[in-house]
Amino acid sequence: MKTLNLGILAHVDAGKTSLTERLLHSAGVIDSPGSVDAGNTRTDTLALERQRGITIRSAVVSFAVAGTTVNLIDTPGHPDFIAEVERVLGVLDGAVLVVSAVEGVQAQTRVLARTLHRLGIPTLFFVNKVDRAGADPDRVLRQLAERLTPDVVALGRVDAAGTPAARWVPHPPGDPGHHARLVDLLTAYDDALLAAYVADERAVTPDRLRRALTAQTGRARVHPVLAGSAMTGAGVDDLIDAVTALLPATAGDDRAPLSGTVFKVERGPAGEKLAYARIFAGTVRVRDRIRHGDGREARVTALGVFDGGDATPVDAAGAGRIVRLHGMAGVRVGDVLGVPPDRPAARRHFAPPTLETVVEPLRPADRPALHAALTELAEQDPLINLRQDDRRQEIAVSLYGEVQKEVIEATLADEYGVPVTFRETTTVCVERVVGVGAAVEWIGKDPNPFLGTVGLRVEPGPLGSGVEFRLGIELGSMPLAFLKAVEETVRETLRQGLRGWAVVDCVVTLTHGGYWARQSHAHGVFDKSMSSTAGDFRNLTPLVLMTALTRAGTRVHEPVHRFRLDLPADLLGAVLPVLAGLGAATRTSILRGTSYLIEGEVPAGRVHALEQRLPGLTRGEGTMEAEFDHYRPVRGPAPSRPRWDHDPLHRKEYLLAVARRVTGRSAR
């Protein structure tokens, strides 16, 4: 049986989870579809998801149809939980992007569509809620073509839109209008089809067009559009047929070396780790020892695959399957299982979090429990990005928005019994290197107290390149463990630069390296005072790096969002001064009938304030889309990270804390 790993994506409240329930019902997996309002859906299993009626964590269910097992991955629609979508994208064979027939294309719809297009993931559009009052599928189809991609084609029409009797009617194979639209769209990407059509229009039969549509959909060139209602079931059977006929099922070699990727980690009822992974090649078996992450190994104690809904225990699973692994105690989201997959390397598809807040326990005695709980949550969501101030015993977490903060607060209280409070949310800036700086500390020479020589040069790197570590010495001139210790510590140290922000887009080159080889006394006892260890390099590297960074200098950059604001034309004069007061820069303003479309940029820290003021400014008629666009140099005095000190004592404590985190033991 073939396997198709399918993602269901949408803007929040487009009906994505309800559609998942209806698909399971139509496929015979469940007797009746669950309801988001009733809190009994198969994929929203967290108590908080059911209370709030939103998806917070991705979930996997499955159904079988027409000889294909479809692993269905339901993802969050709220932008605060975009990190969950981030992790799922790398394991998909295809996607269904759900759009509401009432609200149409929304901010998150545009973000998701651009990302799916950029990654080349075959995608169908499903226009949901055609039975709702105000539904206008034709308007939404035009929006899809205008705002997302012109390469869309409707496979049918909606009758009685906006009423409970709304239904989806597929175009018959011989429909002349549909035939002409398919020819126009498909010949743009198929020269052979175009030549056949020019030579003899009759040679391009409906069957040939269907084969061409399947091929081009599978290559993510064109995007078929269907419509219906997850509540009534209208159009859902046709969607299932389109998914299995038009989206490419996975292929893989069960006999090849194991290759997979972990995209989700959660805790089981007994607190044990459960890892969800896509197997791209090879076979995983119970009791196998699997290499993962940076070379660690773990034994699989139990294994599940998704058949007929939930995970079913099995002894082995082959290529193409999504599996749930037990026994992987040290596994992390993003870990490669076995050898790296034969596909583009995983990378960030969405913008990083641009907000941060300090978490404090209401009961001081809960501080250790808070740290343990946040560490577990960070395993499930790495973009929470914990930052600990050892001097003040404070922990900060990164955020996408205020809703995510509320969810973290409720999770800590309900699941871990740790009530917390948050400080005011602040914007996360970054530091970029502006010059070239170098420093070196020599072994055996004051003031270097460590048994190692480290020289580092820091210089700017290309935008978006992150931190690149290079060797300026011969690879065999130092033990590999020492080189690895230097690189790990460089990356850890640059999480907080001269003003406390992460240093990005730079190149760090190891220019000097030296060590004392293992030495013993005459009686053969190892003498640490005469022999270099990796700990010497972990302790020395932060001191050298920060000296080089100080000489190079950094400049603080703040995150900027691109916004798109649609408001009544008569309110333009009242809104523009407010935008200016919030630091927004208007780039274009276009009059379209009775409304103005304004596009521009606004500092990320002001987006929430703009969203809060928008209803009052526009009589509730204004709509806004905003998403991260870029970082720009801060104008005026450069801000330091809140509660970040520059005194030498704090800097020394911080650098030693870096060494402790990297080495896992106390620095000397």
H or E element at residue 284: strand 284-285
Min mean pLDDT across 131-140, 221-230, 272-281, 449-458 is at: 272-281
CB distance 288 to 327 below 8 Å: no
**Predicted local distance difference test score (pLDDT) of residue 275:** 87
Q: pLDDT value at position 653?
A: 56
Mean pLDDT confidence for 263-286: 85
Give CA separation, 633 vs 246, 433, 535, 558, 602, in Å.
46, 12, 37, 6, 13
- pLDDT for 485: 94
pLDDT at res. 329: 83
Residue 345 has pLDDT above 50, yes or no: no
pLDDT score of 171:
94
**From edge to edge, which strands make up the β-sheet containing 467-471?**
437-441, 453-460, 506-514, 467-471
Residue 77 confidence class, pLDDT cut points 50, 70, 90: low
Residue ranges of alpha helices (H) inside 200-235 are 206-218
Query: What pLDDT score was predicted for residue 44?
Result: 46
Q: What is the pLDDT of residue 30?
A: 74
- Return the structure tokens found at 145: 């073509």
pTM of this structure: 0.71
pLDDT band at 642 (very low <50, low <70, confident <90, very high): low
Q: Is the pLDDT of residue 241 over 70?
A: yes
Range scoring the smallest mean pLDDT among 75-79, 507-511, 624-628: 75-79
Percent with pLDDT over 70 in the chain: 85
* Cβ atoms of 346 and 322 closer than 8 Å: no
Residue 600 confidence (pLDDT) = 93
Distance of CA 260 to CAs 257, 277, 320, 589, Å? 10, 6, 9, 48
Residue 308 has a pLDDT of 66
- The mean-pLDDT minimum among 124-133, 201-210, 564-573, 652-661 falls in 652-661
Per-residue pLDDT band at 346 (split at 50, 70, 90): very low
Q: Which residue has the higher pLDDT, 85 or 644?
A: 85
**58: pLDDT strictly greater than 80:** no
The chain-wide mean pLDDT, for the chain, equals 83
What does the H/E/C string look like for 549-594? HHHHCEEEEEEEEEEEEEEEHHHHHHHHHHHHHCCCEEEEEEEECC
CA dist 541 and 493 (Å) reads 9
Q: Report the SS3 class of residue 202.
A: helix
Exposure string for 130-167, b = 16+ CB within 10 A, e = fewer:
bbbeebbbeebbebbeeebbebbbbbbbbeebbeeebb
* pLDDT tier for residue 540 given thresholds of 50, 70 and 90: very high
The CA-CA-CA angle for residues 61, 63, 64, to 5°, reads 150
Average pLDDT over residues 172-192: 91
Average pLDDT value for residue range 480-507: 92
Contacts of 270 (CB under 8 A, 6+ apart): none
Residue 470 scores a pLDDT above 90: yes
Indicate whether 526 pLDDT > 70.
Answer: no
**Is the Cβ–Cβ distance between 589 and 597 less than 8 Å?**
yes
Residue 347 confidence (pLDDT): 47
* pLDDT > 90? residue 458: yes
- pLDDT mean over 37-49: 51
Nearest one of 379, 497, 397 to 437, comparing CA atoms: 497
